[in-house]
Structure 1
Amino acid sequence: MAKVAIIGLGIMGLPMAINLVKAGHQVVGYNRTPANTQKLVDAGGQGADSIAQVVKGAEMIITMVPDSADVEAVVLGEDGVFAHASKRALWIDASSIRPDVAARLAAAAQAAGLRALDAPVSGGEQGAIEGTLSIMVGGSLEDMAEARPILDAVGKTIVHVGPAGSGQTVKAANQLIVAGTIQLVAEALVFLEAHAVDTEAAIKVLAGGLAGNRILDRKAATMLAHQFAPGFRVDLHHKDMGIVTAAAREAGVAIPLGALTAQLMGSLRAQGHGALDHSALLLQVEQLSGRGQGNAG
């Protein structure tokens, strides 16, 4: 069992930390909001008041924060992870950030005497709670093998996808697919309701055929009920779509549907819905169609 430090105890980080505790690891957490740190303590973990304190003596350090700049703020500088972690400690960044930033920070970690994996996750809040996340890992195979007991405690599908930064590239592709699928499910739901069919029955049969997907399984019911408590916020998916579109442009890859979906996500955020779950794309389809709660604002 390892001593694991985890920085960022939000919607994803906290259940991941709790699952590590359940797996028998010694887990110390740090979060800017002390209330979340206390939740980890209540679950059998330990709390820390600073980055220097949380990483002291840790064999593995997990970061789960919102964006590239947040990761840089946590790991770089006099107060950061690299300055205070034990030499040869393994840093695992589970955040979703730009692939180029991930590769650059992995090199900076190596220069500081640490090892690094970029290991973003997919599966949302429920996957984090259930310990069934899909984890795409960039970095060395040897470091991944060492991290495997930690990753196994929080995920179900764990795949090495290439060198540093590769995990973030795959995560960008994941977010492209998820956003596009949510948009199409939202359009289908509004279409079905406009024709006054039994929408719940329609979802059941669609989910059993070629149109079946995780969004139908996990979010269709709450979308129909207009329940948009965040499992993954529009703000964050908007950020991720920015990563996708920038990386596609750099590679010279056309993503016409992805680019349109990115605009729709940005529009939803601009309307003040950034704190809602990304499935709130439904509201915009309703608004454009002159129907439902989306039209009412």
Structure 2
Amino acid sequence: MVIGFVGLGIMGKPMAKNLCRAGYTLIVNDHHKENVDELVQAGARSGDLKQIGMESDVVITMLPNSPQVKDVMLGENGIAGYMKKGTCFIDMSSINPVDSRYIGDVLKEKGIDMLDAPVSGGEPKAIDGTVAFMVGGDEKTFDKYKQILTHMGSSVTRCGELGAGNTTKLANQIIVACNIQAVSESFILAKKAGVDPERVFEAIKGGLAGSTVMNAKVPMMIEDNVEPGFRVDLHIKDLNNALECAHSVGAPVPMTAQVQEIMQYLHNNGDGSSDHSAIIHYYEKLADTKL
């Protein structure tokens, strides 16, 4: 099976490498030549969008947002114009579910199947192949292509029809963002009250307040390590999509709106490319203290 893979960023590059290790033939494309060269070293070959469309049985994208996915797939000289009937498009980008369904409708007219399959787990899990996939699409298509996803993730769950994957991802991103906010707020409280944050972490991580988010982010906060596993600016994009989706369906999301404002502050004050654990910087500024 030939897989075309577009988007070799923080997440896409290690995930594409995992497909190479699994024995798939990969044709890759990215704006950054050094990322393409790295995949070629791992066994893939480089190709333009036309080659990817013409030669691939499955096309995968891992791109920042809806406009990039639409442009790559449906724009002038987009991949969809060269794909054969009976092939499949798997979009692993995190985009608005409305856009997923629109792209899927266009592809369906061309006889091309589609799954939306955003992921959660950040760079470490992308590297070791243990991300969680949230997938939308019809069950037959899901069953046919699920195995490809298992080489990149330890959890692959069909959430419903096309668009359900990205709806689930929006819910995931709300929970992650609000969890990081709560962790930041509580650990600054402990610090201001004179309690060692490391002891607080050890005391509560095994209880009800413990979480995967806390285990991953608190050590980074204590070390002031904001090397991005998931950038603030990307989380802003996801929360914008969550707010837009929520407004369209009438769902109340006041916590999401608040944490989005905090992340926007970070973006405006030099932390847009930092890991989203940099939310701690907002609370450090307000409290005039360092964790």
TM-score range, shorter chain: over 0.9
Residue from 226, 238, 243 that aligns with 1:245: 243
1:126-205 correspondence runs (5 A): 126-205=124-203
Q: CA deviation at 1:66?
A: 0.1
Alignment of 1:200-279 (within 5 A): 200-279=198-277
Task: Give the counterpart letter for 1:28 in structure 2.
Answer: I
Contact 2:129 2:153 in 1 (8 A): yes
Aligned pair count?
Answer: 291
Cross-structure match for 1:27: 26
Point out where structure 1 has 5 or more consecutive residues left out of the alignment: none
Q: Which runs of 5+ in 2 are unaligned?
A: none
Residue matched to 1:288: 286
Tell me if 1:124 matches 2:108.
Answer: no
Give the equivalent residue in structure 1 for 2:91: 93
Q: Which amino acid aligns with 1:100?
A: V
Structure 1 segments of 4+ aligned residues over 4 angstroms from their partners: none
Superposition deviation, residue 131 in structure 1: 0.6
Q: Summarize deviations over 1:220-254 as a string: whole Å, max 9, x none.
A: 11111111011111111001111111111111111
Shift of 1:52: 1.0
Does residue 69 of structure 1 match 2:67?
A: yes
Per the alignment, in what secondary structure is the counterpart of residue 56 of structure 1?
A: helix
State the alpha-carbon separation in 1 of the partners of residues 3 and 40 from structure 2.
14
AA aligned to 1:13 is: G
Offset at residue 87 of structure 1 (A) = 2.1
Aligned to 1:44: 43
Given that 1:21 and 1:44 are in contact with CA atoms closer than 8 Å, whether structure 2 keeps it comes out as: yes
- TM-score of the aligned structures, taking structure 1 as reference length: 0.95
RMSD: 1.2
TM-score (norm 2): 0.97
Percent identity over paired residues: 37
CA distance in 1, matches of 2:195, 2:204: 13
